[in-house]
């Protein structure tokens, strides 16, 4: 199915996930006036977290807004630092009962709520590329199961295959409205010392691409207090985390999962 779709698209010079997300981002630029002025805050903010994470691929590479704008194009409107890394490696998350977890070495992170929504089967049928994506309903389901609101979240670990994915996910969760991303993100909102830390390992943009395990494992480790120099709390001049909202995304914004974790 995927090969057939790519073969058809290639006739028009279009193939691959980068091009698909680039179309979504370009549509968003038209519909609610987003763009690089917004995305630079995501790329640079997450890099600051990566600079505190020795395991991050780009740990020793600080980035400025000038660096962001001077990077080469991948697929318009995405520059190099709008796109996730390509990495080899592995991660593991162990899920067990809360009762069993009481006997383990580390205090566990507990699952409060989960939600999933799949707005379309094929990107060609999609009407949601500039929102609402599956994040809207998935987020509502997870928050409802957890019995909390967005105001209760202390941090977010967002699936970040591209900078635009972070923006549209946060937007559809309800942190800000269409076209309000730049104002919400500026002045270091998501960075160390910010009021809503996002992707505290550096994320897939600056740490490593391990699909949905990148945000999920980071959220668990933050709640367990195992993140060293990037640990949320006094070390990074942020709030000590009690509740973290994390996401996963599939296809070209075609499927979305939301998980709410809390400290035990």
Hey, how many other C-beta atoms are within 10 angstroms of the C-beta on 85?
18
Q: Which of 21, 164, 209, 210 is catalytic?
A: 209
Residue 162 has a CB neighbour count (10 Å cut-off) of 28
What are the angstrom distances between the C-alpha of 161 and each of 6, 22, 205, 242?
19, 11, 7, 26
Q: Would strands 255-263 and 243-250 be described as parallel, antiparallel, or unpaired?
A: antiparallel
Closest CA to 76 of 132, 129, 14: 14
Catalytic residue status for 209: yes
Which of 78, 49, 73, 79 has the alpha carbon at shortest distance from 62? Answer: 49
Tell me how far the alpha carbon of residue 191 is from its chain's centroid: 13
**Spatial contact of 208 and 194, defined as CB atoms under 8 Å apart:** no
Alpha-carbon distance 175 to 244, whole Å?
14
Burial class (CB in 10 A: 0-12, 13-18, 19+), 48: buried
Say which of 68, 159, 173, 210 is annotated catalytic.
Answer: 159
Contacts 24+ apart (CB under 8 A), 93-97: 93/213, 93/216, 93/217, 93/220
Residues carrying an active site annotation = 159, 209
């Amino acid at each position: 199915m995927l090969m057939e779709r790519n073969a058809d698209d290639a006739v028009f010079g279009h193939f691959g996930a980068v091009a698909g997300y680039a179309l979504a981002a370009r549509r968003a630029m038209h519909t609610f006036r987003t763009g690089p002025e917004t995305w630079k805050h995501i790329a640079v903010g997450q890099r600051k977290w990566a600079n505190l994470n020795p395991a991050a691929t780009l740990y020793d590479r600080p980035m400025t807004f000038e660096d962001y704008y001077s990077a080469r194009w991948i697929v318009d409107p995405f520059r190099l630092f709008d796109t996730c890394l390509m990495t080899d490696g592995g991660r593991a998350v162990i899920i067990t009962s809360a009762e069993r977890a009481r006997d383990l070495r580390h205090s566990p992170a507990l699952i409060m709520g989960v939600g999933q929504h799949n707005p379309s089967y094929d990107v060609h049928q999609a009407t949601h590329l500039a929102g609402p994506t599956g994040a809207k309903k998935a987020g509502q389901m997870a928050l409802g199961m957890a019995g909390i609101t967005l105001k209760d979240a202390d941090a977010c670990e967002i699936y970040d295959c591209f900078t635009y994915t972070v923006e549209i996910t946060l937007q559809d969760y309800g942190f800000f409205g269409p076209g309000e991303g730049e104002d919400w993100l500026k002045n270091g909102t998501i960075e160390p010392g910010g009021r809503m830390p996002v992707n505290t390992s550096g994320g897939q943009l600056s740490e490593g691409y391990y699909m949905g395990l990148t945000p999920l494992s980071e959220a668990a480790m933050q709640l367990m207090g195992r993140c060293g120099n990037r640990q949320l709390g006094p070390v990074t001049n942020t709030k000590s985390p009690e509740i973290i909202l994390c996401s996963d995304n599939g296809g070209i914004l075609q499927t979305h999962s939301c998980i709410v974790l809390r400290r035990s």
